[in-house]
Amino acid sequence: MIPIDRRHFLSQLALTAAAMSLPPYSFASTGKADEYVVTDTSYGQIRGMRKDGVNLFRGIPYGGRISGDRRFRRPMPLQPWTGVRDALEFGAPAIQPPRRNEPAPSEDCLFLNVWTPANDNRKRPVMFYSHGGGFVIGSGAAGGQDGSNLARNFDVVVVETNHRLGLLGFLYLDEIAGSEYAGSGNMGMLDIVDGLKWVHDNIARFGGDPANVMIWGESGGGAKTSCLYAMPSAAPYFNKASIESGPGVRMTPKEVAAETTAMLLKELNIAPKDWRKLLEVPVADLLTMQNKLPFVPPFQEKNKNQGMMRRNYGGFGPVVDGGALPHHPFDPTAPAISRNKPLLVGWNEDEYTFFAWERKDTDFAKLDFEGVQKRLEPQFGQETAKVIEAYRKATPNATAPQLYIAISSIAMMGLGSVDIAEKKVKQGGAPVYLYNFGYKSEKPIPGTDYPMGTPHAMDISFKFNNEIPPRDGSQPKESFFGGNRPERFVASRHFAELWTTFARTGKPTAKDVPAWPAYNLKDRPMMRIDAQCEVIDNRYSQELTMWRSIGKL
């Protein structure tokens, strides 16, 4: 894994946290229902809609109040209701800047959405998705995540939650606030566990199998999935997992979290003994304070000389508190608690082009090799020349911009993914499958003639099978990231089918896709997902050898 200097760290993570707010649309408007559907839950009846062969229930409450005196604590118990409650509109997302086509953000945000082919008591696999956006933005109604096509085309049940984020979800108060606030640094994660428990208790009524639940997520959602994989409270409620472009190898040590809390209190002029004043601070002021701190990444680095890096970043994300999250998810080993649960893990080949697009960085496309060296030195210091030399040798025909994208992309999300796969193999339990998503978008990054390729977050619409021709036979619209080529429909089908068969059986398979062997330390097989999928043994062998030689993997 790659240590990042503070300036680079802040700029990169500000963008990483934004990833899951894109594309800048949502699916809040789905047209009129073909009919309405009423079903029971353990708290009362709800009414959803049936549209184009899928039952959709939106804004189902799965937890009680978390505002007022419940701020930073476990939710109030959810109270049953009488009559039929409408589940036709999305629930409020967690506190963050307003989201397009969604309700206003709110402290009370514990809602989930369900897509199912039918409420018929069949035992379909359940795909429980955690949205991205770092740990500070996003929702279960984010663009590209509509579960309708997965439910309709692959006969699965899809569930997505809203949960606490940022300061309200991850402020560590355990050491100053007493037993009522135990686990405060992981409230956002414990909310997701509550969502999983709701699924366990209720999903049979939606045609899902509570004994066959897959957790999955991209970017920040991948890091959340990494944490769930290591959390005792989550263990009874899922059977397999997928970590996508968000390898959560390590999370925030409680010592760093305590320093962040002290910093916050100082900024607010609140003495530690008066911490209860935090319960009275307006949400808008808390959000302003949150924005003064860097975002916590889906990975964190180990400094060999000083243990976990400290003081190089603050921010709010899951805390290794010894309780809710007993240890780092994949450091020093894969979590024993999930030893027998199959795992998918991987990343997109051109992760960095998303960040170039987001920050309007056009200069990277004009780099020569000397410019690449200057750009990478803040990250890799005296090892920069060795990094570039290894990549030029492994990919002799690559241009300087291509080299820069390749190095930046694997450093951001690839090395952590490989690390997780290797540790899972060494555990000797259930299989792990390593992948690269490689479908290439021809769309140029604005201001350049450099194509997007396979940027961070492009996999979302593909794996949800939302890259498909219109159902009414009209001309397909250009995909936000994916471009215009019709091959994208084939790549999306492959991606979605691999993930849904994994959800069903624990082994990813798909029509017209070669057999995907489990990862091992001899052949090191990796599936490259595209319109034509390919298993590649020992991919990036020269590059990974170099990363190991300089202690980054």
Gap between the Cα atoms of 41 and 59, Å rounded: 13
Residue 72 amino acid letter: F
Beta bridge partners of 45: 40, 84
Output DSSP code: residue 454: S
Helix (H, G, I), strand (E, B) or coil at 202: helix
| φ and ψ at residue 356, rounded to 5 degrees | -65, -45
Gap between the Cα atoms of 138 and 16, Å rounded: 12
Helices (H), 209-350: 220-228, 254-267, 283-290
DSSP letter string over 334-365?
--GGGTTS-EEEEEETTHHHHHHHHTT--GGG
Gap between the Cα atoms of 228 and 352, Å rounded: 26
Structure-block tokens of residue 281: 């601070």
Answer yes or no: 148 catalytic: no
Q: For residue 22, how many C-alpha atoms fall within 13 Å in the half-sphere facing its CB? A: 20
Q: How far apart are the first and last CA of the chain?
A: 5
Gap between the Cα atoms of 494 and 20, Å rounded: 22
How buried is residue 500: exposed, middle or buried, by Cβ count under 10 Å (0-12/13-18/19+)? buried
Widest pairwise Cα distance in the chain: 69
Gap between the Cα atoms of 262 and 273, Å rounded: 11
User: Dihedral through CA 416, CA 417, CA 422, CA 424, nearest 10?
Assistant: 110
Gap between the Cα atoms of 126 and 197, Å rounded: 13
Q: How many residues does the chain have?
A: 553
Structure-block tokens of residue 275: 């911490």
Residues contacting 32, CB < 8 A, separation 6+: none
**Nearest 5 degrees, angle CA 197-CA 202-CA 203?**
95
Residues contacting 46, CB < 8 A, separation 6+: 38, 39, 57, 60, 84, 85, 86, 87
The catalytically annotated residue of 130, 139, 184, 219 is 219
Question: Cα–Cα distances in Å, from 494 out to 155, 453, 468, 477?
Answer: 15, 18, 12, 20
How buried is residue 161: exposed, middle or buried, by Cβ count under 10 Å (0-12/13-18/19+)? buried
Closest by CA to 142, choosing from 20, 244, 17, 30, is 20
Cis amide bond preceding 332, omega within 30? yes
Structure-block tokens of residue 57: 């229930």
Structure-block tokens of residue 138: 């996003």
Active site members = 219
